[in-house]
């Protein structure tokens, strides 16, 4: 049987991450480098919340305006 997936793209504005600090260079390169453990845990909490609903993180993009995530889950789980 062929396995099918449903995808969801979610944008999280930078204002939503008051507990999570991600860093952007002047060139616009952003990432979670050198974060304190508590801030890593905040992002982990977001991942676990979505995971508990059956969503799997496929890709995450960091930008100066926020974070864009791509999630998937099996079509039969929707």
Instruction: Please tell me whether the overall predicted TM-score, pTM, comes out greater than 0.85 for this model.
Output: no
pLDDT of residue 14: 75
pLDDT of residue 12: 83
Per-residue buried b or exposed e for 33-72, using 16+ beta carbons within 10 Å of the residue's own CB: eebeeebeeebeebeeebeeeebeeeeeebeeebbebebe
**What is the span of the domain harbouring residue 73?**
5-77
SS3 17: helix
Q: What is the pLDDT of residues 17-75, one digit of tens each?
A: 665 566 777 887 776 666 667 767 877 888 899 999 999 999 988 777 888 999 999 99
- Number of domains into which the chain is organized: 1
């Amino acid at each position: 049987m062929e396995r099918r997936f449903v995808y969801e793209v979610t944008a999280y504005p930078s204002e939503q991450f008051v507990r999570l600090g991600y860093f952007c260079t002047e060139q616009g390169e952003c990432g979670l480098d050198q974060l304190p453990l508590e801030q890593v845990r905040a992002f982990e909490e977001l991942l676990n919340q979505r995971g508990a609903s059956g969503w799997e993180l496929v890709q995450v993009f960091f930008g100066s305006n926020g974070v864009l995530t791509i999630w998937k889950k099996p079509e039969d789980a929707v």
